[in-house]
């Protein structure tokens, strides 16, 4: 997967993954300045089943970890399941509060 291009498209509040001119998928988010709520991971239907959503989430999490100034709230079911599968990355998650 070295021919993939990962970009942070701040104007659209999303991360994108491309191969050449093909948009493979996007990870939408809402950022309140303290927390990034990852709201939707979407893979273009013709590219599904190749692990691109996982690549998107991993790279977005890595970027946010490197910046160190935001927490993540996994709103999207896929992002929540990704964190379940990667408990070593849970340090960046927003702490849950009792309701």
Which position has the higher pLDDT, 2 or 21? Answer: 21
- Which residue intervals of 45-95 are DSSP H helices? 52-67, 77-85
CB 42 within 8 A of CB 79: no
Q: Domains in the chain, ordered, with CATH?
A: 5-89 (3.40.630.30)
- Per-residue pLDDT at 99: 54
Q: What is the pLDDT of residues 7-55, one digit of tens each?
A: 999 999 999 999 999 999 999 999 999 999 999 999 999 999 999 999 9
pTM: 0.92
CA angle at 47 for the pair 26 and 37, rounded to the nearest 5°: 20
Both tokens assigned to 71: 């927490």
Report, as an integer, the average pLDDT of 52-64: 97
């Amino acid at each position: 997967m070295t021919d993939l291009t990962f970009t942070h498209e701040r104007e659209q509040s999303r991360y994108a993954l491309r191969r050449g001119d093909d948009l493979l998928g996007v990870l939408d988010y809402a950022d309140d300045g303290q927390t990034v709520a990852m709201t939707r991971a979407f893979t273009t239907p013709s590219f599904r089943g190749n692990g691109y959503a996982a690549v998107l989430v991993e790279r977005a999490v890595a970027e946010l970890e490197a910046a160190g100034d935001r927490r993540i709230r996994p709103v999207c079911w896929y992002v929540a399941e990704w964190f379940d599968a990667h408990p070593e990355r849970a340090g960046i998650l927003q702490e849950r509060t009792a309701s």
